[in-house]
Structure formats: C-alpha cells, structure tokens
C-alpha cells in the first residue's frame, strides 16, 4: 500500500516542521492540533521559513507554493484521520494522552494506516496495544530542528512488521532524510543515549569547576567539530525536555547515571528552560 496522505498530530516545535518536511516530500499532509492558535502560529512560522528559503535561493517559489498547497491544518482529528495512510504523532510527551490518541486512531483511521510516534521517550510498544494494530506501529523519531536535521530513528517494537519498517523507511527517504533502524526498544534510542552521555560529562566538568560552560561549548565545537556545544544544544532542546528525558530514562533503567543532573534540576526549578524562556545556561533576547 503506497503512502500518499500523511497526518501529523501536534503543531508544536517538532510537529510543525515534520509536517512541512512531509509536504516538501510531496505528500498531501494534514497538521492537526487541538489548539487553533497553535495551528495558526505554525502556519505563520512555516510560511515565513518558506519565504526565507526562497529569498536565500535554497528553494524555488514553485516548490514552496506546491508544499504549502499540500499542507493543510485542522483541529478536527476525525476528519483529518479519514484519508491518512501514515500518522506521525508528535503530541505532548504524556503516556495517558498518547494512549488515548492511539486508541482513537485505531478506530478512526483506515485499517491499512501505519501509526508512528515521534516520541523520544515513549517506545511505541507502550501505545501499540491501545491502537489494536501493533504490527503497524513504530517510532519515527525526528530531530530538532526537523526541517534541517537529516536523521530519523525508526524504532521497531516486538510486534512491528517488516512491511511497516519498509514503508516508513521509504517515507523518510522521500523526505530527503537519513533513516536509521533501531532493532530493539531501548530508553533514549541511539541519538539521545549518546547526547545524554556527552551532556552528563559536560555538566560534570562545569559542576566541578574544571572549565566554564563557554569553554566547554567552545571545545565541543572547535576540538570535536560539533555544530553546537552541549550547553547551547541543551538550551535549544529545552532544559525541561532534557530533564524529562532523563527522568523517563531513569524510570526505565533504574541506572543512577540516567538521573537528571543537579544543574539541570536547578535551572528547571528557576524556570530557566533555555531559549524558549529567554534564559537557560545562556541569556537570550
């Protein structure tokens, strides 16, 4: 069954850029969110991003017009789900909400539809049963900013079929992304596990007063060739998200190394969540 229509649930930072990536890949894409203001904000941001791509000569006006024409938005999940061949859920990271969404999707989408979650902390096995079609459920984990980052982790659960893996791999390729397959569910998958290890070391170095966060970030950029230092990256991802990922990983592994780092806990307590709150490890205007 060829995938032609994609539904993306959740118009937040990730969902809106995933939806635009799908539209740029030539898929008829519906972005759904229960919040009309979130949908409107997403549309405004994507149109302005598209205009800047044209101004920079990175995309043609035709390509942008075509993508924006393929991208629609609605608050009505039932209507949005009717024609979907693939659903990518990028709603809030709460198991109860995701279970509810997957149970509903199991009823309102066509029987052939594949149901993927963009979650970085909840493996799809947690919502597979609720959907009633576990063989057609997996994680499709995109990275922030999703319009730029190439990697998509495709994580299969015990029941995910080969046909499902093949179909979502093909979609990721058509989005001009680089799919990687995670064969076994593990907290943090591949990328967040590696990022967690780097962040932990960086936080420990700073806490012990070995070097300033500026110098640690500078080292990551100029010695290791990372595009951003770990503190810059944590500020971009959101310190509440970093904290949540650590808590979720610790709940699964019980490994003390996965516990949220005290420096992160302190920042979150102070409401310093990174770029989105105006201050994290660095101040932002």
CA separation for the pair 102, 155 (Å, rounded)? 17
Closer residue to ligand 3HC in complex, CB, 69/145? 145
276 is in an annotated binding site: yes
| Cβ 16 vs Cβ 29: under 8 Å | no
Q: Minimum distance from CB of 239 to ligand 3HC (Å)?
A: 11
For residue 196, give the H/E element and its range.
Answer: helix 191-207
The one catalytic residue among 5, 119, 139, 153: 153
Q: Which residue is nearest to ligand 3HC (CB)?
A: 120
> How many residues appear in the chain?
285
How many residues sit in the footprint of ligand 3HC (CB under 6 A)? 17
Counting contacts by CB under 6 A, is residue 233 touching ligand 3HC?
yes
Instruction: Tell me 260's DSSP state.
Output: P
Counting contacts by CB under 6 A, is residue 248 touching ligand 3HC?
no
Counting contacts by CB under 6 A, is residue 120 touching ligand 3HC?
yes
Instruction: Tell me 136's DSSP state.
Output: G
CA separation for the pair 189, 196 (Å, rounded)? 11
**Of 40, 6, 9, 46, whose CA–CA distance to 26 is shortest?**
6
Q: Minimum distance from CB of 195 to ligand 3HC (Å)?
A: 6
Counting contacts by CB under 6 A, is residue 269 touching ligand 3HC?
no
| Cβ 206 vs Cβ 234: under 8 Å | no
Counting contacts by CB under 6 A, is residue 147 touching ligand 3HC?
yes
Closer residue to ligand 3HC in complex, CB, 121/157? 121
**Does residue 120 carry a catalytic annotation?**
yes
Q: Minimum distance from CB of 170 to ligand 3HC (Å)?
A: 23
CA atoms within 13 A of residue 56's CA, in its CB half-sphere: 9
CA separation for the pair 242, 176 (Å, rounded)? 27
Q: Which of 55, 56, 111, 254 binds ligand 3HC (CB under 6 A)?
A: 56
Site stretch for ligand 3HC (CB under 6 A), options 85-93, 101-109, 212-220, 226-234? 226-234
**Does residue 161 carry a catalytic annotation?**
no
Q: Per-residue x/- marks for ligand 3HC, 154-193, CB under 6 A?
A: --------------------------------------x-
| Cβ 69 vs Cβ 46: under 8 Å | no
For the CA atoms of 81, 34, 237, 49, what is the dihedral angle to 10 degrees? 80
Strand order in the sheet with 178-182: 71-74, 28-32, 5-9, 86-89, 114-117, 137-141, 151-156, 178-182
57 is in an annotated binding site: no
**Does residue 141 carry a catalytic annotation?**
yes
**Does residue 118 carry a catalytic annotation?**
no
| Cβ 114 vs Cβ 166: under 8 Å | no
Q: Per-residue x/- marks for ligand 3HC, 195-224, CB under 6 A?
A: x-----------------------------
Binding residues: 10-15, 33, 93, 98, 120, 144, 276
Interface residues toward ligand 3HC, by CB under 6 A: 49, 56, 58, 120, 143-145, 147-149, 192, 195, 227-228, 233, 237, 241
């Amino acid at each position: 069954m060829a995938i032609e229509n994609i539904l993306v649930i959740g118009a937040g930072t990730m969902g809106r850029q995933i939806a635009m990536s799908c539209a740029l890949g030539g898929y008829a894409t519906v972005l759904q969110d229960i919040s009309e203001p979130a949908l409107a904000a997403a549309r405004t941001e994507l149109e302005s991003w598209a205009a800047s791509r044209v101004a920079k000569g990175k995309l043609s006006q035709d390509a942008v017009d075509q993508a924006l024409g393929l991208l629609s938005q609605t608050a009505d999940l039932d209507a949005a789900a009717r024609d979907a061949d693939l659903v990518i859920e990028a709603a809030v990271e709460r198991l109860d909400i995701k279970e509810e969404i997957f149970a509903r999707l199991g009823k309102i989408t066509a029987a052939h539809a594949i149901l993927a979650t963009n979650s970085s902390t909840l493996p799809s096995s947690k919502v597979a049963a609720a959907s009633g079609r576990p063989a057609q459920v997996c994680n499709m984990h995109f990275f922030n900013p999703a319009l730029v980052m190439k990697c998509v982790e495709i994580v299969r659960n015990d029941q995910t079929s080969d046909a499902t893996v093949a179909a979502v791999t093909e979609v990721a390729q058509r989005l001009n992304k680089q799919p990687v397959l995670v064969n076994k569910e593990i907290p943090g998958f591949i990328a967040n596990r590696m990022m967690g290890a780097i962040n932990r070391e960086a936080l420990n170095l700073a806490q012990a007063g070995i070097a300033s966060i500026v110098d640690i970030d500078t080292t990551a950029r100029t010695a290791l060739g990372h595009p951003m230092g770990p503190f810059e990256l944590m500020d971009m991802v959101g310190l509440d998200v970093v904290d949540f990922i650590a808590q979720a990983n610790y709940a699964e592994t019980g490994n003390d190394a996965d516990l949220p780092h005290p420096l992160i806990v302190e920042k979150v307590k102070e409401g310093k969540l990174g770029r989105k709150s105006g201050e994290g490890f660095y101040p932002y205007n």
